[in-house]
Structure 1
Amino acid sequence: MNRTGDEVQSPTVRVSGAGRTEHGERVLSAARAAADSVRVLRTGPTGISAYDPLVLATDAGRTAFFPAPETSRVRDLVADVEDGALPTDGAAAVVQHDVETTTLPVPTDGPLAVGQRSVLGPCGWVDPLDPAACQFRSLDRDAGAIADAGLVGRGRGDATADEPVADAWRQARETDGDPVVVVNANDADDRQRADRTLLAGSTMSVLDGVAAVAEYLDTTDAVIHVAETDTELRARLQQAIDAAADELPVVPVLVEGPDEYRAGAPTAALEAIEGADRIEPRLQPPSPAEYGLYGRPTVIHTPRTFAQIHLALSAPEESDADGSASATRLLTVTGDVAAPATIEIGSDARLSTARDAVELEGSFKMACVGGVFGGITRTLDVTPTTAELTAAGLGTEGVVELLNDERCAVATAGERARFASEANSGRCVPGREGTVQLTELVRAVYRGSLDREKIRELGRVMARSSNCRIGARAPRPVLTAMDEFESSFEAHANGRCPSGACTDKL
């Protein structure tokens, strides 16, 4: 089903990110109440939370942007559109665009102009519950060609994170048993918002990516794993699945999982879906592709990966020079900022670009790149490629946490070590005991003992021998902070916090 030209070109008022706040719901209700002949669409978030709810007034190929307006202003905006006049007074931006665009028109400046909007393109513009708003590609393109193009998994919840998906897909297809596709969308770390943004704003793209993989595996079984606390997201997902049921060859089943950090790991997610009492990562090998959900060959990716698959099916020309189909990376910019933002940047961009998407509170001191167990750095002069991030000691999980000059590097690293000691599953010794030892070694700095070599050796052992990613990556914030802020560690050992932030830490 396709929209007619009249539907595309008719005056429209879009309300983006309405479900994030009560004010957003009031804005949506006010727009609908004021509308008569004008269409009012509830769209998903754009990724720029400072703009939520964002009202977009569109007519004849021009769109005016109104971030977080009052309800009285919304009624006036709709009335103007009803009268045939596009309101522009007080607009944050007015953009001219193709009347049939299926992606958000991008202003020339402001946070929406940061990076590019390829995977994020539909977010904030299309009705995420309308199958007609998505050009499904899973039925007329070969996902195998996408695997051959070098697409890599995105995020810690992906079983092929930073690795080509092709091997897992082929392994699952060739292993005896009925394959199953899993969308791992349960991430309790609020630092990372890209997956939620895609599920809420570009739902059909994710479902199309799921269908493409299912077609490649010759299966009709798919599961979407979401946190039990994401009640609104689950409800909207179910509506989208029901709406697309006749359009796609696979109808995913929604399964709730515990709102725990450890449950976001790929094999821990499988345990959660199976209803295990104890959520912990499985020993590997075998990989999920060989022995996954209920022992079946399983392909498990994050929503980011499935959305990349859809993009690769829709626009294969958007690829790296080496033929890779994963030319962009989604980043959630958070930390000491007025409001987080999820953006998309190309492989040739610098992470410093992320600073333009948010308003930093205070002066920049450092960043933690890669989630709670990312690397601490003073500079963001690196590209978002796996190779450069890894070489710089940073993480690839799609988070750039900007921290201001009131933060203490020692305390920041120590708090993450302590979190690791609490959040690990306890299954392996490096995760269970190593994280406790790491926390104690940072605590010892406050007591006057800085044993650099012991910290580094413990980090090497944990990275090399941990079964879970928590144990393997927990040392990273401490090691990188020690490299970048060695003088601060020394000052703490001498009883002084240079930033003045530490009183009774850890």
Structure 2
Amino acid sequence: MSPSGGVPQSSVVRVAVDPATDAGENLVDAFRTAASSVPVVETGPTGVTALEPLVLCTHEGRTAFHADPDVDDVDEFVDTLESDTLPTEGADAVVEHDPDTDTLPVPRSGPLAVGTRRVLGPCGWVDPEDPAAHDFLDVDTTLEPVADSGLLGRGRGDAVTDEPVFEEWTTARDADGESVVVVNANDADDRSLADETLLAGAPYPILDAAVAVAEFVDASDVVVYCNEADDRLHERLRRSVDAAREEFSVVPQVVTGPDTFRAGEETMALEAMEGTDRIEARVRPPGPAEYGLYGRPTVVHSPRTFAQVYRALVDPDSFDPDDADPGTRLVTVTGDVDAPATVELPTGRTLADATDAVDFSTFETAVVGGQFGGLSADLDVSASAPALRSADLGTNGVVELLDDSRCVVAEVGTRARFASEENCGRCVPCREGSKQLVELLRDVYDGEYDADGLRELAGVMRRSSTCDFGVGAARPVATALDEFEPEFRAHANGRCPSGTCEL
């Protein structure tokens, strides 16, 4: 493959930007107007928001990185490249690499150098709508490498989050009925950017892996389920699918669902796709692999999981089957930072390593796992699912850094109120439990701190809720009580240590 997406060129300009923003449109237009002989490729995001729009000028195996350049610089960049020279003046980094690389060449330092770039490798480098920039799997590709690797599902909305994926496929293949494969990409939590980054920057590995799984389970349909608010993303996905229709034995369909948090939970996602007016969690068993979309055996994975499936098939040696969580984990660092960044960590690395990709002053508390993540002041914990679960932290790939202006009690109160307003209402533990959480937290401000009552309620929600919404909704309060109980006692005594709350 050539670095320009199938067309060999000694020079090429890439503009890396999230399609959900307008930030790179003027740059792309300016480059295409100015360049007569140099190809201009609009890529997806790199994952590092602070650098974008990022212009990558490549000439004969060297790439100059220019973060958020001025449109007025475009003519100079183009003139330099057309004179057979690389525009290095003012560059944030210059990297030498294989001229035929199909992954982003990584600078020695800076946010792009944090962690590794395996599934993130093509993001920011390839044209996400050009199938020539991707090596498609053979239709008869065996999925045994995935079984051998012990790959676990990743991210909220995956039907087997943190559990082996291959067993789910076997269940779906052996179940009665015509199977279907769903790529669940509807996540309304704007803290969680990993799936969006992958789909916008490198959709073909995800689509390719989904089709390979469809072949294995004998599915007649592959459905990519997106958030209806991400109109530019699903429009890009449709163009990507159309451009590669001849490569797919089962052509993926792109559909959209409600812009609500609960519609991302795996069984509520199925309800939304069926057009149900009231989206509620399904009681399990049976799980989706036995009774899923319209009652059909259904494999439901996040884009992150399918990206790992593709890596396991093309590079099985990078997965250690003896690892408790083989492969890598994507982590979005957000919160009180200058700009969020999504990085990829080997599961043996710590969450603290991911914070090197962002600029922040200091943090007092981190919420790990997204909307219903666990609170901790210590990020010296492995990025692997078993380690995060042992620490009672969420595994959805989000580290939200909160500075000393944030109040822990107010923070968990906000998340409890969100749960009470956004839950589907199906089960009592979640519906009523989240309301009671809010009331008990309000009582703290009135001088009544019932620690035992809060802990007992959180435990009931975790043990008895129908789906992960209720299980997760209890986590912020439970972990805050374990690590920051003095803050609750201070509020009950009429004092907010952060000075945020009016008491």
- The normalised TM-score by structure 1 is 0.97
Q: CA deviation at 1:217?
A: 1.0
- Which residues in structure 2 correspond to 1:111-190 (within 5 Å)? 111-190=111-190
- Quick one: distance in 1 between partners of 2:29 and 2:131? 23
- Is contact 2:2-2:100 (8 Å) kept? no
Q: CA deviation at 1:57?
A: 0.2
- Which residues in structure 2 correspond to 1:390-405 (within 5 Å)? 390-405=389-404
Aligned to 2:481: 482
Q: CA RMSD in A?
A: 1.6
- Quick one: distance in 1 between partners of 2:415 and 2:154? 22
1:332-390 per-position Cα deviation (integer Å, ceiling 9, x unaligned): 11000111111000011110011111111x42111000011110000100001111101
- Quick one: distance in 2 between partners of 1:422 and 1:5? 46
The alignment-based identity, stated in percent, is: 57
- Which residues in structure 2 correspond to 1:59-78 (within 5 Å)? 59-78=59-78
Q: CA deviation at 1:9?
A: 4.4
- Is contact 2:148-2:321 (8 Å) kept? no
Q: CA deviation at 1:5?
A: 11
Aligned to 2:465: 466
Aligned to 1:290: 290
- Quick one: distance in 1 between partners of 2:417 and 2:159? 26
- Is contact 1:365-1:378 (8 Å) kept? yes
Aligned to 1:410: 409
- Quick one: distance in 2 between partners of 1:5 and 1:421? 48
- Quick one: distance in 2 between partners of 1:257 and 1:308? 24
Partner letter of residue 438 of structure 2?
T
Q: CA deviation at 1:7?
A: 3.2
Structure 2 unaligned blocks of 5 or more: none
Secondary structure at the residue paired with 1:22?
coil
Q: CA deviation at 1:3?
A: 8.4
Aligned to 1:495: 494
CA distance 1:313–1:305, change in 2 (3 Å): same
Q: CA deviation at 1:323?
A: 6.2
- Quick one: distance in 2 between partners of 1:2 and 1:487? 58
CA distance 1:437–1:216, change in 2 (3 Å): same
- Is contact 1:183-1:224 (8 Å) kept? yes
- Quick one: distance in 1 between partners of 2:198 and 2:9? 25
Name which of structure 1's ranges 7-16 and 222-231 shifts more when overlaid on structure 2: 7-16
Structure 1 unaligned blocks of 5 or more: none
- The normalised TM-score by structure 2 is 0.97
- Quick one: distance in 1 between partners of 2:332 and 2:92? 22
Aligned to 1:346: 346
Q: Does 1:311 align with 2:311?
A: yes
1:20-77 per-position Cα deviation (integer Å, ceiling 9, x unaligned): 4323100111111111110100111000011111000001110000011111112321
Secondary structure at the residue paired with 2:94?
strand
Partner letter of residue 237 of structure 2?
L
Structure 1 residue runs of 4 or more that deviate by more than 4 Å after TM superposition: 1-6
Partner letter of residue 260 of structure 1?
T
- Is contact 1:172-1:299 (8 Å) kept? yes
- Quick one: distance in 2 between partners of 1:250 and 1:346? 32
Q: CA deviation at 1:8?
A: 3.6
- Is contact 2:114-2:356 (8 Å) kept? yes
1:413-440 per-position Cα deviation (integer Å, ceiling 9, x unaligned): 1111111111110000011100000111
CA distance 1:144–1:416, change in 2 (3 Å): same
Q: CA deviation at 1:146?
A: 1.1
Q: CA deviation at 1:140?
A: 4.7
Aligned to 1:108: 108
State the number of aligned residues: 503
Name which of structure 1's ranges 310-319 and 132-141 shifts more when overlaid on structure 2: 132-141
Aligned to 1:96: 96
Q: CA deviation at 1:227?
A: 1.0
Q: CA deviation at 1:471?
A: 1.1
Partner letter of residue 364 of structure 1?
F
CA distance 1:6–1:343, change in 2 (3 Å): closer
- Quick one: distance in 2 between partners of 1:117 and 1:447? 50
- Quick one: distance in 2 between partners of 1:403 and 1:5? 40
CA distance 1:6–1:336, change in 2 (3 Å): closer
- Is contact 2:20-2:230 (8 Å) kept? no
